Amino acid sequence: MFNPQDPDFVQDPYPVYRTLRERSPVYFSEALNGWLFTRHADVQKVLNHPKIIRPPVGDILFSRLPEDVRAELRVFERRLGSMLPILNPPEHTRLRSAVAQAFDRDVSEALRSRIERRVDELLDKLEEAGRGELLEDYGYQIPTWVIMELCGLPQEDLSLVKELVTGMTPILGQALPSEDPVGVTRTAAAAMDRFSAYVEKHVAEVRKTPRDDLLTRLADAPLSPDDLTLTVLVLLIAGTETTTHYITNAIHTLLQHPDQLERLYDEPGLLETAADELLRFEGPVPFATPQVVRDPIEIGGQQLEPGALVYPVIGAANRDPERFTNPEGLDLARPLGSVLSFGGGIHFCIGRHLARMEAQIAIGGIVRRFPKLRHDDAEPVPVWRADPVLRGLAALPVITC
């Protein structure tokens, strides 16, 4: 019933999600050796349950590696397991508190005017060209620029940072079976080494000449060199890859629903609810990070014993008819709330305010400037990347007028 590597599933997972919700809402997957939860109420409970924690990273991401390769990459495994999204308290609490204030609503709002100017610059280029590839020329550009601005990293390094982030990101997909776990892991390890050297260089600079940016504040925090490097890496991955596909998926969805694109142009006041609805409808994170049961619990009628792996399927929960009216339909005026794409519990996305604001500005800018935006029929039809964990397009070529 569930094969995350099936090409048909990658291109359209929602029929499978619907079948699981209706027939087996709590489903044991042999391929994952864990339980899939697809109902909104159950996913919400898993994400927030105090007796469910993050498992050791090696048990999930490195379990399919040959022992000699795993031994070769032991340092990388240790460092990956020390990253903020994978930690449990008290380590998680300590690291999260070091960066939390940098992403509160007020700090995010202070960036609004600069983000709007950057978006206008990108839209000017698209208008001049009359066409463009929105994933590379727009989707990636905005969140990468924003997080580098926040950290005080040179904008001329944007391509390098994007290269390192995209080298690291596929390792997270190994929570599900992958075709080349050895190659993916070695690429990610090499990217982490290069990234560490890059961050260490800039940390040394801000310690000599402090600035008013996040990197300076982190350099002054009680963090080890490894903690500092890994925290910045997490911020760049979380602040670029997911927001990139949030923006691009949303625009693609509007192009597939031209009546809703026209509605948003006519009613710009819908932008806030529209951005949330587009995230619900086609979010970039269909699967939350795998969790492990710490103590016996019952969820969705299923008794779970300590050590059981659980997989919250956010993409299924966000289209649950028990929670959303007409969930397969796109309604840009749908009331805010209950979208699970930012996770829950102690791992609730620390940058959610910033991501929402970036998406609203990026989506609103496109709709305002290019109400006749359409897919470029001279280019291949957009397809989804072969990655069931991070849902995003391989490319989005468009014509602007």
Q: Within a domain: residue 2?
A: no
Closest CA to 276 of 374, 389, 387, 352: 352
Residues 401 and 370: beta-carbon distance below 8 Å? yes
Q: How far apart are CA 261 and CA 396, in angstroms?
A: 16
Provide DSSP, 94-148.
HHHHHHGGGGSHHHHHHTHHHHHHHHHHHHHHHHHHSEEEHIIIIITHHHHHHHH
Is residue 241 in some structural domain? yes
| Long-range own/partner contacts, residues 86-89 (CB < 8 A, 24 or more apart) | 86/54, 86/57, 86/289, 87/54, 88/53, 88/54, 89/346
Cis peptide leading into 268, omega within 30 of 0? Answer: no
Residues in CB range of 133: below 8 A, 6 or more apart:
395, 396, 397, 398
Give the CA radius of gyration of the chain. 21
In a domain, 164, yes or no: yes
C-alpha closest to that of 100 among 203, 200, 221, 204: 221
Q: Which helix (H) or strand (E) holds 209?
A: none
Residue 180: inside a domain = yes
For the stretch 359-381, pLDDT in tens is: 999 999 999 999 999 999 999 99
**3-state class percentages of the chain: helix first, strand second, coil last, to nearest 5:** 60, 10, 35
Number of domains in the chain: 1
- Across 171-299, where does the E strand assignment appear? 291-293, 297-299
Nearest to 289 by CA among 171, 156, 192, 139: 171
Residue 1, in any domain of the structure: no
Instruction: Of 218, 226, 234, 198, give the one whose Cα is nearest residue 79.
Output: 226
Q: Is residue 269 part of a domain?
A: yes
The continuous run of DSSP H or E covering 41 comes out as helix 40-48
Element (H, E) at 312: strand 309-312
- What phi and psi, each to the nearest 5 degrees, are found at residue 2? -125, 115
Q: Which of 313, 245, 335 is nearest to 284 (CA)?
A: 245
Q: Which CATH number characterizes residue 99's domain? A: 1.10.630.10
130, 136, 137, 142: CA torsion to nearest 10: 140
Q: What is the pLDDT of residue 391?
A: 95
> pLDDT by residue (tens digit) across 302-339?
999 999 999 999 999 999 999 999 999 999 999 988 89
CA atoms of 176 and 374, how far apart (whole Å)? 34
pLDDT score at 247: 98
Torsion angle, alpha carbons of 216, 222, 228, 232, to 10? -60
pLDDT in tens, the chain (401 residues): 788 888 999 999 999 999 999 999 999 998 888 999 999 999 999 999 999 999 988 888 888 899 999 999 999 999 999 999 889 999 999 989 888 877 888 888 889 999 999 999 999 999 999 999 999 999 999 999 999 999 999 999 999 998 998 899 888 777 776 678 899 999 999 999 999 999 999 999 999 999 989 999 999 888 888 898 898 888 888 889 999 999 999 999 999 999 999 999 999 999 999 999 999 999 999 998 899 999 999 999 999 999 999 999 999 999 999 999 999 999 999 998 889 999 999 999 999 999 999 999 999 999 999 999 999 999 999 999 988 789 999 999 999 98
CA distance 247 to 226: 31
What is the distance between the alpha carbons of residues 112 and 123, in angstroms, rounded to a whole number?
A: 16
Find the domain containing 381 and state its range.
7-399
Which sign, positive or negative, has the C-alpha torsion 12, 290, 394, 397?
A: positive
* CB distance 399 to 130 below 8 Å: yes
Asked whether 99 and 215 are in contact (CB, 8 A), the reply is: no
